[in-house]
Every structure is written in structure tokens, then in C-alpha cells.
């Protein structure tokens, strides 16, 4: 191809590169941080700080009061001296309380384990299989979570009496499993939402059989969701009062029910002692499980 332009007459002026201009000393450059930046302007008695202190006080002062009065020598609200009598009473003279505690514990473990198994399986089923009633099941399974507990409690009571199941440990177990299910379902579903299905194909592709894919890939990667579901279910079951109140029968009093019944006959400082023991126990548990919980939070 011939050059059709005469380079002598058509030559363009070479462009001068643009020079970077540095601001003179003493003058402010264009990119200097503004002085009144939001995070630098952090006053010690600002609104947010005051709110923080108030909220922390509101949350923890009642707990401290309970702990302090558990060491009170007398029953009333007046401080009369240090004593461990309520702890002695709690440990050696509260058979009923410990029976209630044992009931709570049995129900919490059994119902949350069953709810975790059922909830995880249903989350997997809803996620992985497409069927007609899928959307309805998804909505219905959330109902126990959004309905007021009183309504669930009453409806369960009516149901159990209608089918003539005697109220007791078994009915509480059924009720707790029911209201724990949606929480486990939700947590495992959230985990499954991030689950990349090509991971299953990758495992098969790399030589895993179907069983190996299930045990070595699918179960371990949804485990954090399952574990957090289980922990959540145990907590919910241990603290439930309203539903348990409706479906409990003779001999099946759980800890929250027992504490409530004690309060009705005047506040016994044994409850204060029990509170401190529980606070202490949970704090020790939480601290020792901290690393475990952190890994769950990080991987989910």
C-alpha cells in the first residue's frame, strides 16, 4: 500500500505531555483530608456515647442487682450482710428445682436434636427438589415462628386434649420440636443458598462416588448451618415459657415454669442464687466455645 499523504506538509505538531503541577509550599493541595471529618469529630459526651452507656446500663444493671442480692443475708430488699445461705439452700435443699432443671435439659436436648435433623432434611429437600407444593411448604413452615406463642400454645393444648394425649414430658417435647423446626430450617436454608451445586459435580468429576460426595462434601459444607441451628434450638427450648405453660402436665415442670411458680409465692433469694449459677455457667460455656462459634460465624 502506498502512502498517499505527503509527510512534509501533513506532519502534525507533536503533542507536549501535560505537566503535573504540584501546589506551592504552604498552600493546601486538593487532596488534603478535610478537618471536620465525621470519624475524627468524636466527642466524649456525644449523643451516641451517652446512648451506648445507657443501653449497657439498662441491660446489665438488673443482672448485677440479682447477683448482689443472691449474697444477701436476709430475704428482703435491704442489705443485711454477706451470706452464702441461698447457695446452700439451692444446692442441698431444692430437689424440685433440680428436677425442673433436669426436665428442661432433657427436653432441650431431645427436641433440638430432632428439630435439627428434621429441619436440615426439609431445608435440603426444599432446596434441591422441585415439586408443586414447594412454595406453600416454605411459607407454612415459617408460621410457628411468626405466630404469637399464646396461639400456638392454645392450639397445641386443644389438639393434645382432642386426640387424648396426656399432657406431660412428651407433649412438651412435641411442642418444642415444632417451634424449633423453622429456626433450624431457616439457618440451614441460608447456608444452602450459598451452596454452589457445581461442587457436587466437581466431587463426582474428581472421582468421588455418590456416597463419598455426600459424606465428604455435602454434609461438611452445610455443617456450620446445622450446628448453629442446633445451638439456637437448644437456647429457644431452654428459655421457652408460654408454649410450655399450656402443654405441660403433672410432673413435667420445666425450669422457667418452676421459677415462675416460685415467684408467685414471693421472690425467694434462691432464684437469685440460681440466676448467678446460670449466668456463670453460660459465661464459662460461651468463653470455652468462643473459638468454635467464631469458626461457625466465619464459615457461614
Partner 1 sequence: MKGFDVKVENVSRAYGNFKALDDVSIEIKKGEFFSLLGPSGCGKTTLLRIIAGFDSPDTGIVLLDGKDILPLSPDKRQVNTVFQSYALFPHLSVYENVAFPLRLRKVPHAILDARVKEYLHLVQLEEHIHKKPAKLSGGQKQRVAIARALINEPSVLLLDEPLSALDAKLRQNLLVELDHLHDQIGITFIYVTHDQSEALSISDRIAVMNQGKVLQIGTPYEIYESPATDFVARFIGETNLFPAVVKACIPYEDYYMTTLDIPALGAQIKVTDYDDLPEGQHVSFTVRPEKLKITGDKPTRVGKDINLFKGIVEEPIYSGFQSKYYVSLENETVVKVIQQHANYMDEGPDIDWKDQVYVSWSAEDGYIVEVVDS
Q: Which is nearer to partner 1, 199 or 283 (CB)?
A: 199
Q: Residue 202 CB, nearest distance to partner 1 (Å)?
A: 4
Distance CA 284, CA 212 (A): 37
Q: Residue 272 CB, nearest distance to partner 1 (Å)?
A: 44
Q: Which is nearer to partner 1, 12 or 35 (CB)?
A: 12
Cell of 231: 445451638
Q: Residue 205 CB, nearest distance to partner 1 (Å)?
A: 5
Nearest in space to 70 (alpha carbons), one of 54, 44, 92, 90: 90
Q: Residue 16 CB, nearest distance to partner 1 (Å)?
A: 13
Helical (H) or strand (E) element with 18: none
Q: Residue 293 CB, nearest distance to partner 1 (Å)?
A: 17
Distance CA 66, CA 62 (A): 6
Q: Which is nearer to partner 1, 153 or 225 (CB)?
A: 225
| Interface contacts to partner 1, rule CB under 8 A | 1-5, 7, 10-12, 14, 196, 198-199, 201-209, 212, 216-217, 220-221, 223, 299
C-alpha triplet 151, 153, 155: angle, nearest 5°? 65
Nearest in space to 228 (alpha carbons), one of 283, 164, 298: 298
Q: Which is nearer to partner 1, 120 or 141 (CB)?
A: 120
Cell of 176: 418444642
Q: Which is nearer to partner 1, 5 or 37 (CB)?
A: 5
Amino acid at each position: 500500500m502506498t502512502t498517499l499523504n505527503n509527510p512534509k506538509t501533513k506532519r502534525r505538531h507533536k503533542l507536549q505531555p501535560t505537566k503535573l503541577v504540584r501546589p506551592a509550599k504552604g498552600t493546601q493541595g486538593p487532596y488534603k483530608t478535610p478537618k471536620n471529618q465525621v470519624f475524627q469529630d468524636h466527642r466524649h459526651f456525644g449523643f451516641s456515647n451517652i446512648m451506648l452507656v445507657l443501653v449497657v446500663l439498662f441491660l446489665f444493671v438488673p443482672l448485677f442487682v440479682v447477683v448482689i442480692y443472691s449474697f444477701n443475708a436476709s430475704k428482703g430488699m435491704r442489705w443485711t450482710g454477706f451470706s452464702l445461705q441461698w447457695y446452700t439452700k439451692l444446692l442441698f435443699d431444692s430437689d424440685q428445682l433440680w428436677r425442673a432443671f433436669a426436665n428442661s435439659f432433657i427436653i432441650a436436648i431431645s427436641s433440638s436434636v430432632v428439630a435439627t435433623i428434621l429441619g436440615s432434611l426439609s431445608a435440603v429437600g426444599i432446596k434441591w427438589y422441585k415439586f408443586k407444593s414447594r412454595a406453600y411448604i416454605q411459607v407454612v413452615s415459617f408460621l410457628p415462628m411468626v405466630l404469637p406463642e399464646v396461639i400456638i400454645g392454645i392450639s397445641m393444648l386443644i389438639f393434645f386434649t382432642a386426640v387424648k394425649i396426656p399432657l406431660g414430658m412428651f407433649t412438651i417435647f412435641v411442642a418444642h420440636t415444632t417451634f424449633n423446626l423453622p429456626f433450624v430450617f431457616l439457618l440451614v436454608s441460608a447456608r444452602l443458598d450459598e451452596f454452589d451445586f457445581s461442587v457436587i459435580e466437581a466431587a463426582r468429576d474428581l472421582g468421588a462416588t455418590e456416597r463419598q460426595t455426600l459424606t465428604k462434601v455435602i454434609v461438611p459444607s452445610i455443617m456450620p448451618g446445622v450446628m448453629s441451628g442446633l445451638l439456637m434450638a437448644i437456647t429457644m427450648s431452654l428459655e421457652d415459657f408460654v408454649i410450655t405453660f399450656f402443654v405441660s402436665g403433672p410432673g413435667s415442670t420445666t425450669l422457667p415454669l418452676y421459677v415462675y411458680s416460685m415467684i408467685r409465692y414471693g421472690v425467694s433469694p434462691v432464684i437469685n442464687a440460681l440466676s448467678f449459677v446460670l449466668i456463670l455457667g453460660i459465661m464459662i460455656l460461651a468463653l470455652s466455645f468462643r473459638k468454635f462459634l467464631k469458626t461457625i460465624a466465619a464459615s457461614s
